[in-house]
Amino acid sequence: MTISVPAHREVAVLQERVFHYAKRYKQIEGENGEQINLEIKRIQNMSVAPLVEFQQLIDATIAKLARITSPISIFYGELDELLYKESANLVYRSVISSQNRLKVILIPST
C-alpha cells in the first residue's frame, strides 16, 4: 500500500497544492509563463467538489488504518515537505503492528 497524502488538510490547502503541482508540471513540459498562467487560471475556476471528495476519501482511509495488522514500512525523503513527514508519522502511529518501520531517506546534497 502506498500513502502519500495531505492528512487533515483544508480543501483550500489541497487546492493550492494542485496549483503548485500544475505549474511545476507545465514548467517541466516547457510551456511559457503566459501559457502556464492561462492554464492555472482555468484550473482556479474549476469546482472544488472533487477535492472535497478526495479529502473525504483520505479521512475515511486514515480512519481504517487501525485495521492493518501486517508489518509495514514507511519511507519519506529528508528533503520532502513537512506534510509528508507528518503523514508518514500518522500512518506509523495508526497501524497496529509491532513490526512497523519508519525510515527517512537521506539524499546527499550535490
For each of the chain's 110 residues, which pLDDT tens digit applies?
555 666 777 888 888 888 988 999 999 999 999 999 999 999 999 999 998 998 888 888 888 988 988 888 887 777 777 777 888 888 888 888 777 676 666 665 55
Asked if 24 and 38 sit in the same domain, the reply is yes
Asked if 68 and 47 sit in the same domain, the reply is no
How many domains in the chain? 2
Asked if 72 and 103 sit in the same domain, the reply is yes
Determine, yes or no, domain membership for 42.
yes
- Phi and psi angles of residue 44, each rounded to the nearest 5 degrees, phi first: -65, -25
Asked if 56 and 91 sit in the same domain, the reply is no
How many Cβ atoms are within 10 Å of 36's Cβ, its own excluded? 17
Determine, yes or no, domain membership for 46.
yes
Nearest Cα to 26, choosing from 15, 37, 16?
Answer: 37
Residue 21 near residue 40, CB atoms below 8 Å: no
Determine, yes or no, domain membership for 34.
yes
Asked if 73 and 33 sit in the same domain, the reply is no
Asked if 106 and 71 sit in the same domain, the reply is yes
Domain that holds residue 49: 8-60
pTM above 0.85, yes or no: no
Asked if 28 and 69 sit in the same domain, the reply is no
Asked if 74 and 98 sit in the same domain, the reply is yes
Residue 37 near residue 22, CB atoms below 8 Å: no
Helix (H) or strand (E) holding 102: strand 101-105
Q: What cell does 37 get? A: 498562467
Determine, yes or no, domain membership for 2.
no
Asked if 44 and 22 sit in the same domain, the reply is yes
How many Cβ atoms are within 10 Å of 85's Cβ, its own excluded? 15
